[in-house]
Structure 1
Amino acid sequence: MPLCNDSSRNHAVAVALLFTGALYIFFSTRSNSDTISTHLQNINIPQPVFPQEELGAVLESAAAGNNNTVIIALVNRAYVEEVGEGRTMLDLFLGSFWEGEGTIPLLDHLLLVATDQTAYDRCRFRKLHCYKMDTKGVDLAGEKVFMSAGFIEMMWRRTHFLLDVLRRGYHILFTDTDVLWLRNPFSRLSNNGSLDMQISVDSNNVEAGHLINTGFFHVRSNNKTISLFHKWYDMRLNSPGVKEQDVLQKLLATGFFDQLGLNVAFLNTTQFSGFCEDSPDMGAVTTVHANCCRHIPAKVFDLTLVLSDWKSYKASHVNDKWSPHHKCGSSWKDNHYVPKT
């Protein structure tokens, strides 16, 4: 009996010691854990560094090493979707840089401004400088046939965007996406800073006046050009149903350019060609614009021929004749054409 009592007593003592040890370990661990937690809370964790404002960052990157000048083109879903035989307008546009003389390095300074997510995604896929324009309240994704309400709206949105870029201090070489770049245009443009604006025309017929075309132009950022673009954009309010090119033509005709003291040069179609008036000299041509054309399928078809003509000329320097622009010529009579939405 006494042996049994001693055994029980020893067992109870052992249990008590184990329980006491467990409590010590628990509270000791908790104390250490609380100490570490308090220490971590007292560490000065660096605040996150937010990225530079998106447009400012992409403009800075695209203009780097190019005299603060950025090449800008506007694209929407219609320009990145296939149009017959797997071709897209964007394919032709970028393809001309690869086929042109001295044009490949210019892709580093090209900014594609997308009006919709599809166009933006396609731009990112090609690893170019890309920016998605704010188009809240309007759908600019589908094809906007010449002089449709959507076309006019897109042109005015474009004008406002370019005004924003000028205000930021960047010079602009704007190009429509239906312009093929066959040679480096910077070698043909004045770069001494004396000209505020250099703009393409539909015809070299000076007697008919300078029929400007806003599909290709170079503009320097200064107070005069910013004032021009501000006035130009404001005039949309009094110009319902009128495209921005016609409004700019009116500002030129009424002397507003002179009032601002703008120095402007009009680019000759021999070098800066278009379907309205072909360049007679493939040895001088720099760009070819699918102007005087109504819709995308016709532009893609005829621009494909232009690129083929250019390749033949590069190979032999003999072929100096452009293929006829039949599709674009007949596009004006295509009353049954329905654009993709």
Structure 2
Amino acid sequence: MMDRTVILTVVNETWAKPESVLDLFLESFRIGEGTERLLNHVLIIAEDSRAFRYCNSKHPHCFELGNLRKKLTKTPPGTQGNFLFSPIRLTLLTQVIELGYNVVFTNADVMWLRNPLSKLVPDSDLSIGCELYPIDAKTFGIKGDGGLFHLKAHARTYEFIQTCSLNRVLYPDPQHHSLCKISDNDKYIDLLGVKVSYFNEENFGRLCLPSDLNQIHTVQANCCENIDNKIHDLKLVLDDWRNFMQLSASNVSSKPSPLSWRAPEKCIA
């Protein structure tokens, strides 16, 4: 399944330096359950030369945007942008899909603790993590921007990405830039025939909401804007995960681990 899959993330100089989000992102793969082998599929996109130089010192697969970066809207220093579908991400996704590669896009503040690809729905074109809330017994609403999605490479998904690009032009307000909002728009999905599934929130967690260590696959620090606070609490996540793995390895019983997350300490829910 991974042979034709690229895992993409985007960093800038604030997110890629010593003791940074990028360090924690890569570390999560190394200590995660069944995730270290996925590092060979991770391509890190550097938005500036400093991020690119640092990335090269930490990971074998780095790409500097260079001239492409200059043509697109600049991301403010210290942020990753508010939405998955910035012009840069759309351009990169289009190029990768054109080459015939499936794409996993992940924010760098998503910690990979277990392999999320094991939770993909086989016949889905787009699998995405969004915040879901119940409307009634049979329906739910969607909010948030996900932080992680999987997109299969074929004609339908290529047209979907083109629709997302058009959507930014037709609707410049930020609300319409979220992939979760776009995927919830029936007229786009039905027209293109794209099959969408949503990751279970028990497996794809958020830093400021409780999650079960026995079920979690990824944790995103999407509730934390301050970069220092984000790094502090993500370090706690990785430390707690290491302790959980050590306890699980030494626990001869089948009972769930009694450990729980210490984070968030500095991030605000």
Look up the SS of the partner of 2:129 in the other structure. strand
Structure 1 154/264 Cα, relative in aligned 2: closer, same or farther at 3 Å?
A: closer
Q: Where does residue 117 of structure 2 map in the other structure?
A: 186
Residue in structure 2 matched with residue 157 of structure 1 by the alignment: 88
Given residue 294 of structure 1, which amino acid in structure 2 is its aligned partner?
Answer: E
- The answer on whether the counterparts of 2:183 and 2:196 sit within 8 Å (CA) in structure 1 is no
User: How far, CA to CA, are the matches of 1:270 and 1:153 in structure 2?
Assistant: 22
Count of residue pairs brought into register by the alignment: 255
* Matched-pair contact (CA < 8 Å) for 2:6–2:41: yes
Separation (CA, whole Å) in 1 of partners of 2:165 and 2:81: 19
Give yes or no for contact 2:113–2:218 (8 Å, CA) kept in 1.
yes
Choose which of 129, 136, 143 in structure 1 pairs with 2:78.
143
Aligned counterpart in structure 2 of residue 242 of structure 1, from 170, 174, 181: 174
Determine the C-alpha separation between the residues in 2 that align with 1:287 and 1:251: 21
Cα gap change, 1:168 to 1:71, in 2 (>3 Å) = same
What is the aligned-residue RMSD (CA, Å)?
2.5
Q: Which residue of 2 aligns with 1:110?
A: 42
1:305-324, aligned counterparts within 5 Å?
305-317=236-248, 318-324=257-263
3-state secondary structure, aligned to 1:213: coil
Q: Provide the rounded CA distance (Å) in 2 between the counterparts of 1:247 and 1:176.
A: 13
Matching residue within 70, 90, 100 for 1:169: 100
Find out whether 1:81 has 2:17 as its counterpart: yes
**CA contact under 8 A between 1:116 and 1:141: conserved in structure 2?**
no
The structure with the largest alpha-carbon Rg is: 1
Q: Which runs of 5+ in 1 are unaligned?
A: 1-64, 331-341
TM-score, with structure 1 as normaliser: 0.68
2:227 & 2:57 partners in 1: Cα distance? 22
Matched, 1:70 2:9: no
Equivalent residue, structure 2, for 1:277:
209
Structure 2 unaligned regions, length at least 5: 249-256
Larger deviation, residues 160-169 vs 214-223: 160-169
> Partners of 2:81 and 2:267 in 1: how far apart?
12
CA, structure 1 residues 254+154, in 2 after alignment: closer, same or farther (shift >3 Å)? closer
SS at match of 2:34: coil
Q: Is the 8 A contact 1:309 1:319 kept in 2?
A: no
Aligned-pair identity in percent equals 31
SS at match of 2:69: coil
